Structure 1
Amino acid sequence: MKELPLLPPASLSRTAVDRSHVHRGGGIDAIWETGRARAVLAHRGTLLVSRGGLHLLDRKDVPEDSVMLYLGADGEGTHFVGGALTDEGRAAVDRRLAAETDRDPEDLLTDPVGGLHATRPVWLGLRELGTRLSDRDVALATSLVAVGNWHATHTHSPRSGAPTHPAQAGWVRVDPEAGTEHFPRTDPAVIMAVVHTDADGTERILLGSNALWPDDRFSLLAGFVDPGETLESAVIREVEEEAGLRVRRPRYVGSQPWPFPASLMLGFTAEADSLEVHTNDEELTHLRWFTREELVEELREGTVSVPDAVSIAGQIIAAWAGGLDPQTTGWSARG
């Protein structure tokens, strides 16, 4: 097969933030005391946005019961604190925003009705925002959602069962009884473009349809890496488990954080010597091989859909097919 180049940073992989780990040790209070800090807010995977980017707030605007996280600094020296809100904190923020609108309703006449570019702040999901935010804002948002998810699900120590508390500017949770430190987890998963090349050089890509998706929706095969397993071995194992197919020459093409809730997607290509497939996986309803021409044509006709560019699956499919443009191929917007 024709080798794919490394994917350029796209969607949730983009960044223009210095994570500046040296600032974590001083805690959140020290960040605020720089006088150059702003806050951004997240709640259950949604972000508060306005005017085309993350809505920036001051310290007083962050509810006290939020888990606060130092996200880093931009090139202008502004530090960013992320607030992962509780349900009560989200309600308090919404009440304050509604009260501000009641006091000053004048610009509502020209304000877009919701959406990223609304003058008034609105809550939108990270998947919807992934390709639309700036490099700086998407890096802040992705880190905040990912670590916020971890804080929400790891409130107690796995050693003593005691409630833990945040430390190191939100990047550690400490067990007060055992004195142990616990760090955010990331679950590595491989996602692969399996390609078969005919004797005449015609390439076909293998795509699968998940049981939870519409019948016309297809994507790459993927799966989590087992403990003690290499990435390359995970590619070979997952393809055999899901498609009954042996592949060779796994080659890395790029990665992307996917904090839904805590994955790191590691993209590969792999070569298949056979077109004979059968699904052994209850999650997959059917598998299909596509030539480049078949895939592009069916996307344009709307008879199939694939992930869009918010996910690395869509990025790899587009790279293999020759730079598909979601605006002209009928890509589904369902990430």
Structure 2
Amino acid sequence: MVFGIVTSMKPLPMLPPASLSRTAIDRNHRMRAAGIEAVWQTGRAHAVVGHRGSMLVSRGGLHLLTQDQVPAEAFHFYLGADVDGNHFIGAALLDEGRSELDRSLSDEQARDAESWLTDPIGGIDATEPVWTPLRELGEELSDRDVALATSLIALGNWHMAHTHSPRNGRPTELVQSGWVRREPDVGSEHFPRTDPAVIMAVVHTEPSGEEHLLLGSNAMWPEDRFSLLAGFVEPGETLESAVIREVQEEAGITVRSPRYVGSQPWPFPASLMLGFTAESDTMSTTADEDEITALRWFTRPQLRAAMEAGQVTVPTTVSIAGQILYGWLDRDDTVGTGEAPGTDGPTPASR
């Protein structure tokens, strides 16, 4: 058998919409202009509520409230409509609003004692509403609910931090159903901010086709926690240039062939994660010691063994880091196939 010399990694397929990337909502910009009150007047509106990164859930999804149940101490947004024509308003609760709603829910539960006897299940499937962090809900919510929750948390975080004009320091007001803040005196408008960040699977390929994946441990993490390298895109920089720069800064190596594989909103507080793969011709790395304290190369068998032994923990597939990592891990190396460099192999099983 003739063995081919493989100089490139097997390209990963584009990521399917997963976790926080999923959506089944029409954002309906025309209804935004009509205003929140007009949305309620349709008679087909419901509210969902969030507070500091957590969502109120029950019965397998976001807990829906009526207009009179939504606390006033909140930022209110029109989030969009579903395929059935139902409209959804998001309320990013202030601390006072969260306390008010919790008291109201507690009073309702006290009046309905039967629920305590028939509801032994907690979490998203609880009969009575409970608060759960969005990070824990990303893979459990429906496409509709995850889109609502992600937008609500992102908008809430932005409004909390941008109550005043960056031009003159004056208070701004919500317009366009919460999607814009306007300075009343001069009319300048300010839009929600999303910071682009690249995250990349850096791979070194042996002539035999065996691949090694580079993972790093952040200075703020436990020593056994490893993930893909990542960093924010700087002004005036392309995404591909950001991939090359960030790997050089954090690992001391130059990579080539950045390839885009997918994206994911990450509203903690306001990022859009842009996933890439990139190839390295060397395995001689140097951690920057500021952000990254340790770097390790893994073959697929090595990474599986380290994870099974509890020696290494990696991100779950709620994040794009985990989605890319498992997408690579679930593929087979090109060994002894005689494939030409860069040839796509069989499509891997989805995860």
Compute the TM-score of the two structures, normalised by the length of structure 2: 0.91
Question: CA offsets, 1:67-109, max 9 Å, x none?
Answer: 1101001110000000011100000000000000111111211
Alignment partner, residue 333 of structure 1: none
Alignment partner, residue 203 of structure 1: 211
Alignment partner, residue 191 of structure 1: 199
Alignment partner, residue 3 of structure 2: none
Alignment partner, residue 331 of structure 1: none
Q: Bigger shift: 232-241 or 100-109?
A: 100-109
Cα offset, 1:307, TM superposition: 0.1
Cα offset, 1:281, TM superposition: 4.4
> C-alpha separation between the residues in 2 aligned to 1:314 and 1:303?
17
Compute the TM-score of the two structures, normalised by the length of structure 1: 0.95
Indicate the structure whose relative CO is greater, using CA pairs within 8 Å and at least 6 residues apart: 2
> C-alpha separation between the residues in 2 aligned to 1:52 and 1:198?
46
Alignment partner, residue 328 of structure 1: none
Question: Secondary structure of the equivalent of 1:5?
Answer: coil
Question: Secondary structure of the equivalent of 2:71?
Answer: coil
AA aligned to 1:73 is: A
> C-alpha separation between the residues in 2 aligned to 1:115 and 1:200?
48
AA aligned to 2:182 is: V
Question: CA offsets, 1:117-153, max 9 Å, x none?
Answer: 1111010100000111011100000000000100100
Alignment partner, residue 67 of structure 2: 59
Question: Secondary structure of the equivalent of 2:294?
Answer: strand
Cα offset, 1:301, TM superposition: 1.8
Asked if 1:16 is matched to 2:21, the reply is no
Alignment partner, residue 330 of structure 1: none
Alignment partner, residue 98 of structure 1: 106
Alignment partner, residue 268 of structure 1: 276
Alignment partner, residue 87 of structure 2: 79
Cα offset, 1:113, TM superposition: 4.8
AA aligned to 1:90 is: R
Asked if 1:175 is matched to 2:193, the reply is no
Cα offset, 1:45, TM superposition: 0.8
Q: CA RMSD in A?
A: 1.1
Stretches of 4+ aligned residues off by more than 3 angstroms? none
CA 1:78 to 1:323, structure 2 compared with 1: closer, same or farther past 3 Å?
farther
AA aligned to 2:73 is: D
Asked if 1:130 is matched to 2:138, the reply is yes
AA aligned to 1:42 is: G
Aligned 8 A contact 1:49 1:121 in 2: yes
Aligned 8 A contact 1:160 1:178 in 2: no
Asked if 1:41 is matched to 2:76, the reply is no
Asked if 1:108 is matched to 2:122, the reply is no
> C-alpha separation between the residues in 2 aligned to 1:100 and 1:299?
45
> C-alpha separation between the residues in 2 aligned to 1:161 and 1:215?
43
Structure with higher Rg: it is 2
